[in-house]
Structure formats: C-alpha cells, structure tokens
Amino acid sequence: MNISITNKFLKAVDTLNKKYYFYNPNNTTMSQKVLLTSKEVNIILHRLACQLIENHLDFSNTVLIGIQPRGIYLANRVKSLLENEYKINDIKLGFLDITFFRDDFRRSEKQLEANKTQINFLVEDKKVVFIDDVLFTGRSINAALTAIQSFGRPSEVELLVLIDRRFSRHLPIQPDYRGRQVDVINNEKVIVSWNEKDGEDAVYLI
C-alpha cells in the first residue's frame, strides 16, 4: 500500500479513537461519542438564557423549576447566567422531586430513591419553566405536571431541556426551549456530565 495513503488512514483512525471508545469483545467497553464539548455546552446555555429573556423579560411573574435529580444542575447554571451575565435579579428557583408521581414507579424492579423537593414559594398564577437535562419519553415531565399542582395552579408551563431525544416520546410532550435535538436508537443513552458533579461539562452518546 502507498505509504502516504497508509499514513492518512492511520490519522483517520486516530481521530476516530479520540471521539469513540470502540467495543472490545474481550471487555465491556462500549462506544462513546461526544455530542457536545464544554465550549458548545456554554454557548448553548447562553442561547437558552437569551431565549428565556425574550419571553419572560424581568422574570417578575416567572419561576424556574429544576426537575430532580439531573435537572437541578442545568437549572442552577441558567439561573446563574441570568443573574450574573444578564443582570436579572431575584429569580425564583426551586427543585421538584417527581419520584412518586411517575406512572411507572410501582412497576420498577429496582428500588427508587426519592430526592428532595425544595420550593419555598407558591406557583399560583405564575409562569413556570420546567428545566431538565434530557427529554426522553416525556413521562418525567408528565409526572412534574402532576407534582407541581401541590404548590398552586400555574398560569402556564414551559419546558427547557439541554438535549431533546427525538422519536423516543411515549407522551405528546415537546420542549419550548431545547439546546440540541438528537436522533438516537432505543438502546443508546445520552449522558450529560456537569462540572459540579462529574468534573466536566460534556454530553456523550453511549
């Protein structure tokens, strides 16, 4: 084989290996693709914050609700950007646990662990923005719609997600704000890593 062609091929393989961990039949490693880098996550967060500002202005009648457990990291980031970068003060942020409001929690074979709900304000007649990292089947958001009623009746509810998994929905629920839309098959997982918990900001397809 021509040496220059061989070198090009080896470079191409090396590039792929930096983005994927290929399956090895001798171990359990699975392929892993980077969907979003730290820089891309940061850009998306700023875009989402700006979209919220367009619709909610000073947030005087709007509250943010992070869906436990993984939505709280995105919710905190969005709130921080709105306050520190865009100088919007007194944004109300709460965290909602939906464990026992899911329609499938009694069917799960694994033991479910509830998280803490932290909402120290009423949502009566407020505009509520649910925040979660990944929109998958829609069942979590359906549960959140039920759970939030304990804190009042919102005037309207919107949904913000970092990743929207298309073609995976079980319920007719769609995001109002999405960071990125991805097409994945059922046995693939989207993993969102946050610097606060995982040591990096990134999104992987596994």
**Assigned domain for 148 exists:** yes
Q: What would the pLDDT profile of 134-168 be if each residue is shown by its tens digit? A: 999 999 999 999 999 999 999 999 999 999 998 88
Give the chain's domain count. 1
The residue segments making up the domain with residue 96 are 40-188
**Assigned domain for 103 exists:** yes
**Assigned domain for 99 exists:** yes
Residue 13: per-residue pLDDT: 36
Q: What would the pLDDT profile of 2-51 be if each residue is shown by its tens digit? A: 545 444 444 443 443 344 333 333 444 567 899 999 999 999 999 999 99
As a whole number, mean pLDDT of residues 44-63 equals 98
**Assigned domain for 22 exists:** no
CATH number of the domain bearing residue 113: 3.40.50.2020
How much is the mean pLDDT over the chain?
Answer: 86
**Assigned domain for 62 exists:** yes
As a whole number, mean pLDDT of residues 165-177 equals 93
pLDDT surpasses 70 at 115: yes
- The proportion of the chain whose per-residue pLDDT surpasses 90, expressed as a percent, equals 72
**Assigned domain for 14 exists:** no
**Assigned domain for 20 exists:** no
Structure tokens at 204: 């992987």
Structure tokens at 199: 């040591």
**Assigned domain for 34 exists:** no
